[in-house]
Amino acid sequence: MIRRLERPSGARLSVDLSRGGAVRDLRLVPEGSREGALAVLDDGSSSEESARWFCGRLLVPFNDRIPRGEYRWQGRFFQLPPNDPDGTDAIHGFLYETPLKALKIQECSRESVLFLEGALEPREGYPFPLFLEVTYTLRDDSLLVDLLVKNTGPETAPVALGWHPYFSLPEADRVDRLALEIPAPCYYQVDRDLIPTGETPSVEGSPRDFRTPRLIGDDEIDLAWPLDGSPRDGSRVVLHGVRHRLELWCDDAFGTVQVFIPPHRRSIALEPVTGPADAFNRPVAGSPGVLPGAFLRGRARVRLRPSTQEQTPAMARS
């Protein structure tokens, strides 16, 4: 079931309740623009592609991958069923298999708000019941995603959160022609299976340095960066085009951004997450235990603005 929000400006949001509140369509209007609403979200050219790349899905109770689905928590061993289309890992949790309920839509002059809720029941490899509240707040130029997960069970539960949107800008049919900005002094090093090694090398002098906007070009990226933001102000990851820039603001809970460019290269996944891959086996890196009755909450905002960056020669030629 699809639930939609639409502003008088033409800004629009479509959410798939049957897929755990996944975002299916997002159109925003940059402040001061006369272009009308612009599509910034890539949902895949087909339902098969959308499912393969987890387009727009909320990631609960873990983000990215857990190798072979195996993890240890508080001295116990757990085995999650593999669901990686390309291998034997468990990836991106299982909220996408769970329908959510739309509680209400609240409209006012500045924004439209959609409130969702649902529950994750204990299952194979994850015997921890969770309750979820998801709030989408749509304004003309932005979307705020507010994800809250509460532990309703009797024991501490491992929980990691994320959102898996793929973004593009209307002036470029490939992300090669866009520039990326990530406020991160280091990155999570990974092995050949894309699992963090525990090392966080400096980005200084490396191809992983996006502290100032840098053209993506033909870079192949599937990597996470710990964001260098303050607990109060959060962090902003920016996708720059010639005419527009898309800002992804992440609060302190979403202290990591996972970046992935799929083979078709028409869009880029900028994923706000609570920590890097394999979080259940690396609780220090961003998978805190949630006590019974307590909750974990992450917020991220996508905003579309007119570009203020000078055109690089490569961007100008695009």
State whether residue 281 is helix, strand or coil. Answer: helix
State whether residue 94 is helix, strand or coil. Answer: coil
Cα separation of 109 and 111, whole Å? Answer: 6
- Taking residues 251-255, what's their average pLDDT? 93
Domain map of the chain by residue range?
Answer: 2-317
* 95-120 confidence digits (pLDDT tens): 999 999 999 999 999 999 999 999 99
- Taking residues 84-91, what's their average pLDDT? 87
| 314 has a pLDDT exceeding 60 | no
Query: Mean pLDDT across the chain, nearest whole number?
Result: 91
* 173-191 confidence digits (pLDDT tens): 999 999 999 999 999 999 9
Neighbour tally for 31: CB within 10 Å: 13
The torsion defined by the Cα of 271, 274, 277 and 278, in degrees rounded to 10, comes to: -160
- Quote the distance between the C-alpha of residue 142 and its chain's center: 15
258 with 250: CB under 8 angstroms? no
* CATH code matching the domain that covers 2-317, chosen among 1.10.260.40, 2.40.50.140, 2.70.98.10, 2.102.10.10: 2.70.98.10
* 137-153 confidence digits (pLDDT tens): 999 999 999 999 999 99
Cα separation of 52 and 34, whole Å? Answer: 35
- Quote the distance between the C-alpha of residue 188 and its chain's center: 17
Cα separation of 101 and 118, whole Å? Answer: 6
Cα separation of 247 and 245, whole Å? Answer: 6
- Taking residues 55-83, what's their average pLDDT? 94
- Residues of the chain with pLDDT > 90, as a percent, come to 81
How many Cα atoms within 13 Å fall on the side-chain side of residue 7? 25
| 75 has a pLDDT exceeding 60 | yes
